[in-house]
Structure 1
Amino acid sequence: MASSIPANFTPDNILLIKLRHHGDMLLTTPVINALRQRYPQANIDVLLYQETRPMLQANPDIRQLHVIDRKWKQEGARKKLAHEWALLKRVRASRYDVVINLADQWRSAIITLFSGAPVRIGFDYKKRDNAFWRLCHTHRVSTAEHGKLHTVEQNLSALAPLGILARDTVASMHYEADDWPQTAALLAGLDVSDSFIVIQPTSRWIFKCWDDEKVAAVIDRLARADRKIVLTAAPDKNELAMIDNILAHCKTPHVVSVAGKLSLTKLAALIDHAVLFIGVDSAPMHMAAALDTPCLALFGPTKLQHWRPWGFNNRVIWAGDYGPLPAPDSIDTKTQQRYLTTIPVEDVVVAARKLLNE
């Protein structure tokens, strides 16, 4: 067993590793916030995938981001190996006192080991119950309770070896100083005033989405001349087609679309200035919760306990309250079926108006 970490341990350099999607990266920020509170003098770095960099790039508590670009493999084996070796050398040269590996990949474990950090924390995954995983991590944290915990709580549990117990720590989303002025200028060109609602009805997985006609019905009920609806989506052809279909079903003129026109940090600025965010299980939903914008999240057969919005200014409407849903692990992510279809328009409108204090 690893030796215990002294209570007066004060690391100078800390590395956090998480190799997942955009929402996952945002949900690591409570760990960063807890580390900053405990070690105000420490340098905190993060290793993540290149495409998720915008979720953390403006965070003032992070010194630097190490990135893995999944496009490296397109450059051929030799160049990919050169990139990997250069990354390992940068991590080693940073002389980390602590590495916290929140990932379950072998790649993250190897980087953790190669860092040379005297304290290397990882999770004690059953599928990684072998000598090499134990060699990579000086301290391992049980995952026995993870099935009952939110993803944020799972991440925060990795801090237990450091004596940090902070299960209620908030998430954070930051954007650049010029993101809001540029976004505000875009809105002004669409005749959107200071009061607006953001709705992101899309996801890269269609099974997480509500019916286009029902989204349009909600827009018609909530939109006003002095409080327009702003629709957002990723610059993906399927998501943009969904936005077009929703607009085609809308009767109100008080709705505009900025779908595909905003970077992630500009989207954060937009959500931060909205009076309400309505969306499905997606990264923008987590952004709204982290920004403390009133958030109404529509959920279907994903793991609600793990992925509900983390914060206090939100409401969840779950399709499982209106009819049976398949088990989350049984879902074919390529299906075109929309499991949120049982959610009534009226319940969404009522919940939205409560969040708007109407």
Structure 2
Amino acid sequence: MCAHAPPHLGFGRCRFRCPGGRASGSSISTSTRPIVNILFISWTRIGDAVLSTGVLSELIRRHPDAKITVVCGPLAATLFANVPGLTRVISLPKRLLNLHWLSLWLQVVGQSWGLVVDLRRSLTAYTVLAKQRRILGRTDQTQHRVAWLPSIIGLAAPLNPHLWISDSQHARAAEILPEDARTLVIAPIAARPEKTWSAENFANLVSTVRAPGAPCEGWRVLLVAGPGEETQFQALIKVVPAEALVLLTGHPDLLVVAAVLARATLYIGNDSGLTHIAAAVDVPTLALFGPTNPQHYGPWSPHARVVDAPLVDGVRSIAELSVGTVVTRVREMMGSQNS
């Protein structure tokens, strides 16, 4: 347990997500010889892509004049739009029979690369011309992903996620969410049903923490969701007065969303890409986990905490996570901020 971790509170596993631990893997050269171009093959999903940005940021620090090509999934593509030295973001939607890898190979094989960094262990990294290749080894399930990922470039220390947000994106965020009130962000979406706390639970949570004398009394509420998903959360929308509710649904630019989240006071959400974005911009983040292991995949920030569901018959079901448990954690988080 890290030095900043709070004592166990008796309701499942509740952890302060502190950047710590060491990466696995053998040591490799950290030469700073100039590299002309870098092919960085990241992950498909938003959360995974966010966690990979620390490695990319370190590569840019080492090779500030290199031209960067990033490969990622379509949903994560806008995260990399402002990467310094960016030449191209290759958005790689999955195809039947893994034909997306053939598509990628055809797009990059005609170029000689100074460095290929592949987090996906694809054949592409082995079959293109490259002076150096760094290919991620076997996943270490005993450590957080941010802790072992830097081993791919010869580092043992974690590399914190980093998002490149422009002034214009911050300006757009200020239009969406002026900093004239304390704001509670609720992100009730997740990629899978088993990772999704119910809308009714979120509604009860918001009602409780915004009540008189509660830690978020009278706060503005920002509801973040995907295109059209607000229709799934009418129970949540109904408990917030219209003048205190801001909806941010289906915004096409994840960096604008990140800039909006950075303006908030507290973020509460499921195990999702948005939760990793919130942690990356250092907003106090409370992540609700069901079956996923937060020791390996939790949000990475000194300002993030995790509450995961209790163990029932060997399974952690998000449906078993009570509103009272989450309210208790909110009180603790806000108390620590005010102390």
TM-score by length of 1: 0.73
From 256, 260, 279, give the equivalent of 2:245. 256
Distance 1:23 1:115, change over 3 A: same
Maintained 8 Å contact 1:276/1:356: no
Distance 1:356 1:118, change over 3 A: same
Bigger drift between 83-92 and 343-352 goes to 83-92
Map of 2:44 onto structure 1: 20
- Confirm whether residue 277 of structure 1 aligns to residue 264 of structure 2: no
Bigger drift between 84-93 and 226-235 goes to 84-93
Maintained 8 Å contact 1:231/1:243: no
From 118, 124, 133, give the equivalent of 2:131. 118
Letter matched to residue 285 of structure 1: T
From 152, 155, 159, give the equivalent of 1:169. 159
Bigger drift between 4-13 and 277-286 goes to 4-13
From 201, 226, 229, give the equivalent of 2:221. 229
Map of 2:293 onto structure 1: 303
Q: Name the one with the larger helix percent.
A: 1
From 168, 172, 178, give the equivalent of 1:178. 168
From 328, 332, 339, give the equivalent of 1:347. 328
SS of the residue 1:171 aligns to: coil
* 1:35-65: CA deviation from partner (whole Å, max 9, x where unpaired): 2233333333211223320122223364432
Maintained 8 Å contact 1:34/1:166: no
- Confirm whether residue 216 of structure 1 aligns to residue 206 of structure 2: no
Instruction: Answer 1 or 2: higher relative contact order, Cα 8 Å, separation at least 6.
Output: 2
Map of 1:68 onto structure 2: 92
Letter matched to residue 350 of structure 1: R
Distance 1:245 1:38, change over 3 A: same
- Confirm whether residue 30 of structure 1 aligns to residue 11 of structure 2: no
SS of the residue 2:249 aligns to: coil
Partners of 1:29 and 1:211 in 2: CA distance = 31
Distance 1:119 1:186, change over 3 A: closer
Bigger drift between 57-66 and 264-273 goes to 57-66
SS of the residue 1:65 aligns to: strand
1:144-155 equivalences in 2 (<5 Å): 146-155=140-149
Shift in Å, 1:233: 1.1
Partners of 1:252 and 1:18 in 2: CA distance = 41
Distance 1:325 1:288, change over 3 A: farther
Distance 1:251 1:262, change over 3 A: closer
Partners of 1:357 and 1:225 in 2: CA distance = 14
Shift in Å, 1:168: 2.4
- Confirm whether residue 196 of structure 1 aligns to residue 173 of structure 2: no
Maintained 8 Å contact 1:196/1:276: yes
* 1:273-326: CA deviation from partner (whole Å, max 9, x where unpaired): 112211111111101111011111122221111111112111222223xx4374
Bigger drift between 51-60 and 265-274 goes to 51-60
Maintained 8 Å contact 1:206/1:338: no
Please report the RMSD computed on the Cα atoms of aligned residues, expressed in angstroms: 3.2
SS of the residue 1:158 aligns to: helix
Partners of 2:89 and 2:286 in 1: CA distance = 31
Partners of 1:61 and 1:274 in 2: CA distance = 30
Letter matched to residue 202 of structure 1: I
Map of 2:237 onto structure 1: 247
Partners of 2:160 and 2:337 in 1: CA distance = 22
Q: Which runs of 5+ in 1 are unaligned?
A: 126-142, 332-336
Shift in Å, 1:350: 1.0
Q: Which runs of 5+ in 2 are unaligned?
A: 1-27, 211-215
